[in-house]
Every structure is written in C-alpha cells, then in structure tokens.
Amino acid sequence: MRTETTSGPTTTSEEIERIVTGLPKVSLHCHLLGSIQAQTVVELAAKHGVDLAGHTAETLYDHASYEDLGEFLRVLDVVGSVVRDRDDLHRVTYESLTEGGAAHRVLYREIQISPPGHGNVPYPHLIEGITAGMRDAQTDTGIDSRVVVGLCREDTPAAALELVETVIAHRTEEVIGIGLDYAEVKGPPVQFAPAYARAAEAGLQRTAHSETGPPQHIEVLLDELGCSRIDHGYHVVDDPEITARCVQERVPFICTPVSSDIGRYSGSGDGSHRRIRQMVEAGLVVAIDSDDPPMFGTDPTHDYRALAHALGFGLDQLGTFTLNAVEASWLEEADKAALRRRALEEIEALRGPEPRPQT
C-alpha cells in the first residue's frame, strides 16, 4: 500500500516499516514509572504484597479507558506504589532502557523520573538503584542515559523547592536537569518559579510539561522558569505570535504522538495528530518520544510509525525528529557532537540506493 505524503516522495508501508525500525532514536520524554511493562508491575506487586484490585498484566493498562490525564495519572500512582527497593529500581530502569530502549534503536535517553510518585523511597536510594540499572543497560547494549528529576505540580511549590534542594544536596553526574509533571490544571507553572530559579543557580537544566494548558503557559516556561525545551506544548499553535517566537528562538518541543492522541491534546483522539502536523508545518523544532509507552500501548518505534502513517512523513522528516532531539539534549558538547555524527551515519545508511533514471 502507498500513502500520500505531505513532505516528500510517496512511501510504502514496507518502506515505513524499514525506516521506523532502523531509525536511530534519541529519547527525551519517557517517564521511568510510565515505561514499566504490566507483567513487571504484577510481579513487583506480588513481591511487596500490594493488592492490584484483581488486575492482571492483561487488564492493568487499559489505555482506551483513560478519559482524561487524571485517570491515567491515578494508574501511574498504583505503578509507583510497587517500585520500592534498590532491586526494583534497578530492574525497571534496566528493562526500560534495554527492551524499551536499545531494542528500538534508542541510542540515548534522558529518563524522566518522578520521586514523589515512589512514595517514601528516599531520594538517594532512588538514584542509587536507577543509576545501577543505567550502568548495566549501557554495559549490555551500549545505550547511554541521564536523569531528569520531575517536580510534581500537584504538590505545593514549597515541596517542589524542597525536592530541588534534595537533588542539589545529593548531586550525582547522572542527574542533569529538572522537569515538571502531573496535572497542569492542578499546578500552573508560574508558582514553581522559585524552585526553577534554585535549579538554575545550581546549574541544572530545565524543561516542563505543557500538554493541556494554554499557549501562554509556554511563555511562562520560557520566561519565568528558564526552560530550554518544552514537553508536549501542542497548544503553542493556538497562538500565532507565540508560535513565531518559538520558531525564531528554535525552542524544541518533545511531542509524544500516541499518548497525546489518546489524551486528545495533540488532536481529536482520531489519530489525526492535527497539532503535531501544524507544529511541523509552522517550522517549529519538534522531536518525538513515547511518554509512558506500555501504559499507552506504544513503544519508541511505534510513535514514529504512527506519525509516518498519519502524516505521510518519510525518512527526511523522521530523521529530522531524531536530529532535533540530539540538539535538544543536555549532553556535553563533545558527547552531543559524537551522538549527532552517529545518528547522521545511521540515518544515511537507511537511504535506499538512488532510483535508476527512467529511460
């Protein structure tokens, strides 16, 4: 079957499959708690004697049932409640980076973690288990990774500031920045300015979610929180002036097609990915990731596949998403240059032979 494209030559389904499976990927918006396979949650629940209300691995992640972000986040709370000790943290990090990362040609990931989502696990224990999983995943598959600590916007600004102080007090080289997650309606961004200012002072990089909020929230993220990139940010296209500013400043937006389609933030829940199309057409710097992959029935390859089919993107545009993620990453310059070279080589290797001239 051939699909019509908006951005290049016509691409067949077989070609899309070859491209999306072979494409090198750089993952900047994947939550550790959201990337745990249901079977692992069931096993950890049994280990800790947690009641999953009769759920099995088959029924736990019923993504079609999430009516809004809040419903999804309450399932995420259940997942967080079973990830408790160093072995659990090692396991979920390792599985997320190997089967859920390297197996999809993810070369590098900035893992978004949510310390408040783990209940009472002390921050240093959390980091110890996670970094052990990162090291073993790198040894076994080559995937490189860092950590982004999410402040919970459903907590108070004081709790967010306290978490930043904890991150600074227990600073490790793997932890390179902070984010802001959970429900935007319950925590408008401006109130987290003191926590972000403290992070900036300590040299931490900054991003934040804006998935349901108005385009003005994106201005707050840039001007009040000092974010160098935005998680989601679909509503930017509702304001032509803010869009123009973001195009001009090359602000990266890390979009997650499948989860945001189910949540209806990027479109209408019909697979049209309307806002992502508008963002690309407006010339915004867009990168792709998969947010909470098994919880939304997706994986890093499938998010690219979904966009390729819905919007007719071929290798040029899909490769650009990866290269945009390289630019938006928070790696040191030399590491970033090495990642860019590798990604470029692997993207070029996916180009088929030049078509023979027609005679």
Q: Residues interacting with ligand ADE, by CB under 6 A?
A: 31, 34, 69, 76, 181-182, 209, 211, 259, 291-292
State the binding partner of 182 from ligand ADE, Zn ion, none, CB within 5 to 8 A by kind: ligand ADE
Which residue, 16 or 325, is less far from ligand ADE as judged by CB?
Answer: 325
Verify binding: residue 110, Zn ion, rule CB under 5 A.
Answer: no
DSSP secondary structure letters along 215-267:
HHHHHHHHHTS--SSEEE-GGGGG-HHHHHHHHHTT-EEEE-HHHHHHTTSSS
Whole-number Å distance between alpha carbons of 130 and 146:
10
State the binding partner of 34 from ligand ADE, Zn ion, none, CB within 5 to 8 A by kind: ligand ADE
- Outline where DSSP puts E strands in the chain: 2-3, 11-12, 25-31, 106-113, 144-152, 175-181, 205-206, 209-210, 230-232, 252-255, 285-288
Verify binding: residue 291, Zn ion, rule CB under 5 A.
Answer: yes
Residue 70 C-beta: closest distance to ligand ADE, Å: 10
Which residue, 34 or 319, is less far from ligand ADE as judged by CB?
Answer: 34
Whole-number Å distance between alpha carbons of 148 and 322:
19
Residue 5 CB neighbour total at 10 angstroms: 16
Which residue lies nearest ligand ADE, judged by its C-beta?
181
SS3 165: helix
State the binding partner of 88 from Zn ion, ligand ADE, none, CB within 5 to 8 A by kind: none
Which residue, 209 or 277, is less far from ligand ADE as judged by CB?
Answer: 209
State the binding partner of 178 from ligand ADE, Zn ion, none, CB within 5 to 8 A by kind: none
Residue 68 C-beta: closest distance to Zn ion, Å: 15
DSSP 6: S
Measured between alpha carbons, how far is residue 216 from residues 188, 238, 246 in Å? 11, 10, 12
Residue where the block lists tokens 């990266």: 252
Residue 154 C-beta: closest distance to Zn ion, Å: 14
Residue where the block lists tokens 């916007």: 153
Verify binding: residue 15, Zn ion, rule CB under 5 A.
Answer: no
Residue 258 C-beta: closest distance to ligand ADE, Å: 11
Which residue, 153 or 305, is less far from ligand ADE as judged by CB?
Answer: 153
Characterize the bridge pairing of strands 11-12 and 2-3.
Answer: antiparallel
**Taking contact as CB under 5 A, which single stretch among the options 88-96, 97-105, 236-244, 287-295 is the one that binds Zn ion?**
287-295
R_g (Cα) of the chain, nearest Å: 20
Which residue, 14 or 71, is less far from ligand ADE as judged by CB?
Answer: 71
Which residue, 88 or 291, is less far from Zn ion as judged by CB?
Answer: 291
Which residue, 19 or 113, is less far from ligand ADE as judged by CB?
Answer: 113
Are the C-beta atoms of 261 and 273 separated by less than 8 Å? yes
Residue 72 C-beta: closest distance to Zn ion, Å: 10
Token pair recorded at residue 245: 């500013």
Which residue, 217 or 323, is less far from ligand ADE as judged by CB?
Answer: 217
Which residue lies nearest Zn ion, judged by its C-beta?
291
Residue 291 C-beta: closest distance to ligand ADE, Å: 5
**Taking contact as CB under 5 A, which single stretch among the options 170-178, 189-197, 234-242, 283-291 is the one that binds Zn ion?**
283-291
State the binding partner of 153 from ligand ADE, Zn ion, none, CB within 5 to 8 A by kind: none
Are the C-beta atoms of 129 and 157 separated by less than 8 Å? no
Whole-number Å distance between alpha carbons of 28 and 76:
19
Residues that bind Zn ion (CB under 5 A): 291
